[in-house]
Structure 1
Amino acid sequence: MTSDLPHPTEAFVWTWLAGATAPVVAGRLIARDDMVRFAYGRSYLARADAQPLYEPELPLRSGLLPLPAGMTIPSAIRDAAPDAWGRRVILNRAFGVKGDALNDVRLDELVFLLESGSDRIGAIDFQRSAEIYAPRATTATLDQLMASAARVEQNLPLSAELDQALHHGSSIGGARPKALVTAGQRKFVAKFSSTGDVYSVVRAEYVAMRLAALAGLNVAGVTLEHVSGRDVLLIDRFDRIAAGDDQWTRRAMVSALTMLGLDEMMARYASYEDLAEIVRHRFADPGKTLRELFGRITFNILAGNTDDHARNHAAFWDGAALTLTPAYDICPQGRAGQEATQAMLIVGDDRSSRIETALAAAPHFHLDEAAATALIAAQVRVIGDKWHAVCDEAGMGAVDRAFLWGRQFLNPYTTIGLRSAAASLDVLVAGVREGRDGDATGV
């Protein structure tokens, strides 16, 4: 099988410059010796409006750019590659790989870049040609999504991605099904429930995202739908701006993993403390951003979202400065007991999912203990005050509420080891948890 798979040696990177609705060629990726390197094109470097795809990793200069130590592909390029679900869809759809074989087949990274859809997150795409831009359309419309059951009954085709997500998710496995969806002047990422879910993961993510927004965080908008017997979470795309006549401008983005100069193999070293340092020196509005980022850390702890890895944080890149994107992927994670850790280090080598850990990091976010404690207390009160109303919005039943409350949301472990100056938070969290116990009455 491996010998039959393609092994491309180059791909051209096209990019949407600020305000543009059509892309231009930025340069070329060259695969050699199990590494992928990038070089800007001469025509791009000659443009007055050229901007680096990302600095310091890919500065505007001629020649093949060196890779950071230990990396096999520029991290800013890897940000635009398909995720685990997208990779399994490509293996299944384009190469017929199924079942357990999906875990064994390895494709070259350029194959994933060239086979994935062109409406990808961010402002770059990958093509086989430097002359002709031929988009690979994989986006479904919201009408197609909502009418998917009727279309199947009438033997009408669905887009490949929508068909995979709705009807073949369990056979592909390995990641949560998702698809890109367009509705008029809006675009969404659609996430689907999975047959293996032991609780309503999609509704839980809706609840967490809505509560985060109500707590004052800058969060992507979410809508919950029910399609073909499955829950579907629609998340507003913030990297697209409608320009009329079915035209769109794109916003360049990089992940925190890229900002930190790391790749997946080094992701365990990703640290909020280091990210705060980058915010202080490279972001357009560091003071506001530091407070927002600290609030995201504490809300993730309170909501049981331990999957806050560095690709689940991102910033817009305008060629000179960074701006934090709205929060996304705030999803309570399965939890057997109380003790838990965040995916990123919070302060020093401590990643424990405790308020005390966050308070120890507060000075790195220009917050004193009083301000940090007040911020956390406000989040706890919002979770308690809005819990049932938001669960009602999500149509979440009593069983799922009871499963999440006190386990994912406001787990007792969050207040373990609180310093005496912040002991009031222990009392507050316990009081809210006991007053809103998610019991079967749903009150």
Structure 2
Amino acid sequence: MIDQNDVEVWTTSAGGDQRVGTLRPSFTGGRTLASSSFEYDAAFLVDGWQISPDLPLRPGRTYTAENSILPGSFEDAAPDDWGQRLIRADAARRRRAEPSLPTRFGDFDYLLGVADHTRMGALRFRSSLDGPWLSSDEGVANLYDLQRIIDAAQRYEQEEATDEDIAYLGDVATSPGGARPKANVVTAEGRLAIAKLPHSKDGRFDVERWEAITLEIAREAGLRTPTWRIEAPQHGRSVLITERFDRDDEGFRLGYMSGRTALGLGTHDDGSRMTYEDFADTIDAWSIAKTEDLHEMFGRIALSVLVNNVDDHWRNHGFLHTREGWRLAPMFDVNPSRQRGVIDSRAISASDDPSDRQLVHLLAIADAFRLRPPAARAILRRVAKSVSGWDATAARFGVGSAEREALGVAFDGAQLSWALALSSGE
């Protein structure tokens, strides 16, 4: 990796490559990114689409706000903690062979260090108009490599990784977001997917199997989920394979923005003050299928409360840009948690306690989701009915009775009983 400054931004669709514009960073203290600006290409202004809420389609340079260092869509295309750690480790490995390589890393370098083939969303980068894609590493493995990926990731977590491990993970595992280990894989059907791997701190719970169980509960409740499946390699803990929803049926890229980008949150703003009622306004502003997506989101909030999904920060919601416009992305990163009353989740509304969320507050703001009370109650009952079968679903997925009993606290009895008992009247 070499230090990059201005980069050309492109997107690729069935119609071919199209130049979007130019991203210009502003550094302070070496490679520390202070701010940036973006300028659309004149041709893209004619027939293109707004790639980020903070980048209106207009000529001239648009600068980041005081609380941001990159436009939101570019932050969404950059790696999170797991990917950043691997990029640093791989750069250190390369420097041992070539000491002249840069030693400094910043947010701009991480953005460009992700393998182009697997970068989230539709944006692609070049250092010049006809230069190679940044980064040009292939960045994907086949499913038959799964055990190799798991073994390399575990050695890396335990600080026992070889240079070969780091080089391999640097190729296949930099783009997926989040802190947990993940890698890009290609399914037997040729679809790009994310392999969500076991973590050294998972303890007695098969975390990825429980995520699959929760996705199944969501699917049975009529909520949109990615195509997924469970793999169980030789070490016993499960790997969750989820197909990338930012690629269409032909494998072309779809634009992506996270919930935090759609809400207009700055780089260092965790959005803890924002509520799901605020997010409903955001869906109403951006979605081309407002009513459908608002009803969908209402059901997802209910599910999160009923399975105690506490890791529902705004990066764990998103939108996809199709040919018609923006739509709510499928549900992802949803996990039951035993922790109650000690973790602040996303509040439902200003009246809600984020450490003790109550569905009565969701029902009270049903109109924000374009729902009349009878329809809102019907969704709550439908989701609750699906959640109520969690134990049978977990058993069907091969989870033993002791583990099911230990995690049963996640499936809130009081809230579940309340939702199941809702009447259908006005």
- Which consecutive unaligned segments of at least 5 residues does structure 1 have? 98-104, 167-173, 427-443
Change (3 A) 1:197 1:42: closer
Residues 378-397 of structure 1 correspond to what in structure 2 (within 5 A)?
Answer: 378-385=382-389, 387-388=391-392, 390-397=393-400
Q: Find the aligned partners of 2:166 and 2:15 in 1 and give their Cα distance.
A: 27
Please list the CA deviations of residues 211-269 of structure 1 after superposition, one character each: whole Å capped at 9, or x if unmatched.
Answer: 111111011122110225142100121111243xxxx3111011111111003522212
Q: Find the aligned partners of 1:145 and 1:192 in 2 and give their Cα distance.
A: 9
Change (3 A) 1:399 1:320: same
Aligned to 1:193: 198
TM superposition score normalised by structure 1: 0.78
Residues 174-323 of structure 1 correspond to what in structure 2 (within 5 A)?
Answer: 175-183=179-187, 184-198=189-203, 199-229=205-235, 230-243=237-250, 248-266=251-269, 267-318=271-322, 321-323=325-327
Q: Find the aligned partners of 2:267 and 2:39 in 1 and give their Cα distance.
A: 25
Match of residue 345, structure 2, among 343, 346, 350: 343
Please list the CA deviations of residues 108-145 of structure 1 after superposition, one character each: whole Å capped at 9, or x if unmatched.
Answer: 11110111121111101233333223333111112222
Match of residue 360, structure 2, among 331, 356, 363: 356
Change (3 A) 1:380 1:107: same
Q: Find the aligned partners of 2:150 and 2:73 in 1 and give their Cα distance.
A: 38
Amino acid at match of 1:240: R
Matched, 1:115 2:113: yes
Change (3 A) 1:164 1:301: farther
Say if 1:189 and 1:236, in contact at 8 Å, map to a contact too: yes
Matched, 1:125 2:120: no
Say if 1:317 and 1:323, in contact at 8 Å, map to a contact too: yes
Q: Find the aligned partners of 1:151 and 1:276 in 2 and give their Cα distance.
A: 41
Aligned to 1:70: 67
Counterpart secondary structure, 1:235: strand
Change (3 A) 1:113 1:311: same
Amino acid at match of 1:379: V
Deviation for aligned residue 1:52: 2.7
Change (3 A) 1:398 1:384: same
TM superposition score normalised by structure 2: 0.81
Report which stretch shifted further, 34-43 or 363-372: 34-43
Matched, 1:82 2:79: yes
Counterpart secondary structure, 2:199: coil
Q: Find the aligned partners of 1:423 and 1:315 in 2 and give their Cα distance.
A: 30
Aligned to 2:139: 138
Deviation for aligned residue 1:8: 3.9
Say if 2:3 and 2:109, in contact at 8 Å, map to a contact too: yes
How many residues of Structure 1 are paired with residues of Structure 2 in the alignment? Answer: 389
Q: Find the aligned partners of 2:168 and 2:373 in 1 and give their Cα distance.
A: 48
Q: Find the aligned partners of 1:20 and 1:146 in 2 and give their Cα distance.
A: 37
Q: Find the aligned partners of 2:151 and 2:195 in 1 and give their Cα distance.
A: 19
Change (3 A) 1:297 1:186: same
Say if 1:39 and 1:62, in contact at 8 Å, map to a contact too: no
Q: Find the aligned partners of 1:177 and 1:297 in 2 and give their Cα distance.
A: 26
Please list the CA deviations of residues 28-58 of structure 1 after superposition, one character each: whole Å capped at 9, or x if unmatched.
Answer: 2322344332333546447x5333322x411
Q: Find the aligned partners of 1:86 and 1:283 in 2 and give their Cα distance.
A: 30
Match of residue 27, structure 1, among 22, 29, 32: 22
Amino acid at match of 1:333: S
Deviation for aligned residue 1:303: 0.8
Counterpart secondary structure, 1:373: helix
Please list the CA deviations of residues 295-333 of structure 1 after superposition, one character each: whole Å capped at 9, or x if unmatched.
Answer: 000100001111111111111124874211111111123
Change (3 A) 1:139 1:50: same
Structure 1 runs (4+) greater than 6 angstroms displaced: 147-152, 163-166
Q: Find the aligned partners of 2:16 and 2:266 in 1 and give their Cα distance.
A: 30
- Which consecutive unaligned segments of at least 5 residues does structure 2 have? 95-102, 154-161
Q: Find the aligned partners of 2:395 and 2:81 in 1 and give their Cα distance.
A: 32
Counterpart secondary structure, 2:22: strand
Deviation for aligned residue 1:176: 1.0
Sequence identity percentage: 27
Counterpart secondary structure, 1:59: coil
- Give the aligned CA root-mean-square deviation in angstroms: 3.3
Q: Find the aligned partners of 2:104 and 2:207 in 1 and give their Cα distance.
A: 29
Say if 2:211 and 2:335, in contact at 8 Å, map to a contact too: yes
Please list the CA deviations of residues 331-358 of structure 1 after superposition, one character each: whole Å capped at 9, or x if unmatched.
Answer: 12341xx436653231116333222232
Aligned to 1:333: 337
Say if 1:37 and 1:64, in contact at 8 Å, map to a contact too: no
Amino acid at match of 1:138: G
Counterpart secondary structure, 1:240: coil
Change (3 A) 1:162 1:333: farther
Deviation for aligned residue 1:194: 1.2
Say if 1:8 and 1:31, in contact at 8 Å, map to a contact too: no
Change (3 A) 1:21 1:89: farther
